Amino acid sequence: MSLPVIPAPAHLTLSDNTFTLTSSSGVTAESPELTELAARFVADVQLDCGLTLTGNTGITLALESPQADDVPAAAGVRADGEPVDERHGLEITTEGIRIWGATPEAVYRGLTSLRQLISARLQDAAAVLPAARIVDGPRFAWRGLSLDVVRTFHGPDEVRRIIDMLSLYKLNVLHLHLTDDQGWRVEVPSRPLLTEVGATGAIGDRPGGYYTQAELAELVQYAADRYVTVVPEIDMPGHTSAVFKAYPSLGPDEIHSVDLGNGDSLQLNTLDPGRDETWTFVEEVLDAVIPQFPQSAYVHIGGDETWGMADEDHAAFVEKAAALVRARGKKVVGWQEIARASLDAEDVVQFWLDLDVDSMVQNPDLPTPPEDLLPILVEGLRKAKYDAPKALEQGTKLIVSPVTWLYFDRPHADASSDPDQEEARKHLGLEFYGAASIEHGVSWDPVDSIPGIDSADQVAGVEAAIWCESITTPEDLELMLLPRLPGAAEKAWSRPGTDWPTYAARLAQQSPTWRNRTWTWLHSTEVNWT
């Protein structure tokens, strides 16, 4: 038994009866705290499928215990640091629909499931919904997407579209990768050249850009209204070429780089932890950036790919940067390489490098990196296999973001029924990682498939990542995100085990909403789209 809902609910019972929702239906909130949710739901349904709910009966929202004793509390940590219970109930009878939960956020999750059902069942301005009872809650508390806005800058309108996608699939974190070699995307008033100079570029000749403080405030609030927390990443001590472009005095005397052959280059330079100027800069950045993300309990400090930096210097930098974040009342998250430093148990390590470097080097089907880059990559990847064990030994939890399953800059393996998308597939994604199918994206488990993880208690959450080396337009971005993003949500929310035929049937029925929302998605020939 299944309904066209993603992620799959924990408990579902169906009966033969139905309830018909029409434009004369509406929403009643039994608590004032739910009034805004009701209004947003009505607006979302209209955008999802064109149905305008004008009445005030048919759907009832209530704040009460969901009686979800057999749905375990979510494992992991929340990006907002709040102990919010998202467990909820949804019941459809011949008399109407009732959604309840202990918190407004829990009720919102139930409304999200109902939105999907309405879109899938709408015909002739009426949605005939099967009688059903759902009791549900997430497996993991942190469920997100890391969005690269540096290699290609994505403006506020496109980011809002991505937030809408996250919300529709119960994902609750947007991790904004705001700084990298190619650009700097966030204002620091005491360092105006970061945006005047450092933000001017992207990869190759792509235009740059940055978010003003007003734009970020609007994005952060837009996300918060949809129960998505925006987590900022300031990548350091590597990936800092944009910093050195803006403030050369912070950089080394001689800049070293490797040409990647795609219009971009790999910079082999880092901030120096032994210089006072470095820490003045880091403190100014933290003091400017942290207040712009008030809902986030975490600051992502990057810490990855510090090519050529001595291990002891890298550890010293991570430890001091982390201490500065904690001193400002925030918690620390970083890419897995930060596990090579001493961490606090409350820190979070984002695991991504699950690649077997030795088998990759021996694989003749994979493209060969530039000659100067190969030994650097091999050294970094060989160190990486020790990162997750080091993190767990220190008592830190892992955000699971493995390249194999959750890097959405992998090429699409599925063919598309749209000839234009077949042309796009030729240039989208990094060949280095190999192509991945939609089915592949749901054929794993965040605990069972990750070496070294023995229990969900070691997992902070699940987060996909989209990097934009090959992505140049909003349409490219959405084509790489959809239909992969619902699969990531399924892995983050639902209990273990996803049957592909059943999942593909649920996925197919998401397409009416995507069409109405004008989202671009891969028309995979492996899915019988509605």
User: Residue 366 pLDDT > 60, yes or no?
Assistant: no
pLDDT at site 376? 73
User: What 3 state SS string does 284-347 have?
Assistant: HHHHHHHHHCCCCCEEEEECCCCCCCCHHHHHHHHHHHHHHHHHCCCEEEEEHHHHHCCCCCCC
pLDDT tens figures, 86-96 = 999 999 999 99
For domain 11-136, give the CATH superfamily. Answer: Chitobiase/beta-hexosaminidase domain 2-like (3.30.379.10)
pLDDT at site 270? 95
The amino acid that residue 274 corresponds to is G
Helix (H) or strand (E) segment spanning residue 131 = strand 126-136
Pairing of strands 96-101, 88-93: antiparallel
pLDDT at site 254? 77
Rounded average pLDDT over 132-148: 97
Query: How many Å separate Cα 437 from the centre of its chain?
Result: 19
User: Residue 465 pLDDT > 90, yes or no?
Assistant: yes
Pairing of strands 229-236, 173-177: parallel
Distances from the Cα of 89 to the Cα of 99, 328, 413, 450, 467, angstroms: 6, 38, 37, 31, 36
What whole-number distance in Å separates Cα of residue 478 and Cα of residue 15? 37
* DSSP of 37-101: HHHHHHHHHHHHHS----BS-EEEEEES----TTSPPPBS--TT-------EEEEEETTEEEEEE
Question: Cβ distance 526 to 519 under 8 Å?
Answer: no
**Preceding peptide of 7 cis, ω within 30°:** yes
Q: At a CB cut-off of 8 Å and minimum separation 6, what does 46 contact?
A: 52, 53
pLDDT at site 261? 67
Out of 3.30.300.10, 3.40.1010.10, 3.20.20.80, 3.40.50.2300, the CATH code matching 142-516 is 3.20.20.80
pLDDT tens figures, 246-288 = 999 999 887 777 777 666 667 778 999 999 999 999 999 999 9
User: Residue 14 pLDDT > 80, yes or no?
Assistant: yes
User: Residue 243 pLDDT > 70, yes or no?
Assistant: yes
User: Residue 19 pLDDT > 70, yes or no?
Assistant: yes
pLDDT at site 359? 56
Rounded average pLDDT over 508-522: 98
63-67, 171-175, 308-312, 425-429: least confident range? 63-67
Question: Cβ distance 337 to 314 under 8 Å?
Answer: yes
What whole-number distance in Å separates Cα of residue 110 and Cα of residue 104? 10
Where residue 358 falls among pLDDT bands split at 50, 70, 90? low
Between these two residues, 427 and 253, which has the higher pLDDT value?
A: 427
The amino acid that residue 75 corresponds to is A
Task: Provide, rounded to the nearest whole percent, the portion of the chain with pLDDT above 70.
Answer: 95
pLDDT at site 382? 82
Q: At a CB cut-off of 8 Å and minimum separation 6, what does 88 contact?
A: 66, 68, 99, 100, 101, 106, 107, 109, 110, 135, 136, 137
User: Residue 367 pLDDT > 60, yes or no?
Assistant: no
Where residue 45 falls among pLDDT bands split at 50, 70, 90? very high
Q: Where are the domains of the chain?
A: 11-136, 142-516
Question: Cβ distance 212 to 187 under 8 Å?
Answer: yes
The amino acid that residue 528 corresponds to is N
Between these two residues, 498 and 382, which has the higher pLDDT value?
A: 498
Rounded average pLDDT over 320-334: 98
Rounded average pLDDT over 31-51: 98
Reduced to 3 states (helix: H, G, I; strand: E, B; else coil), residue 157 is helix
pLDDT at site 228? 98
pLDDT at site 1? 65
Q: At a CB cut-off of 8 Å and minimum separation 6, what does 196 contact?
A: 246
Burial class (CB in 10 A: 0-12, 13-18, 19+), 136: buried
pLDDT at site 194? 98
Q: Is the pTM of this model over 0.85?
A: yes
Rounded average pLDDT over 338-355: 96
pLDDT tens figures, 100-113 = 999 999 999 999 99
- Catalytic (active site) residue 305: yes
Mean of the per-residue pLDDT values for the chain? 94
Q: Output the six-digit token pair for 333.
A: 């998250």
Question: Cβ distance 202 to 152 under 8 Å?
Answer: yes
Rounded average pLDDT over 185-196: 98
359-368, 460-469, 471-480: least confident range? 359-368
Q: Closest Cα to residue 486, out of 467, 513, 456?
A: 513
Structure-token match 């063919």, residue found? 415
Rounded average pLDDT over 31-56: 97
**Preceding peptide of 237 cis, ω within 30°:** yes
The catalytic position among 86, 233, 305, 337 is 305
User: Residue 526 pLDDT > 60, yes or no?
Assistant: yes
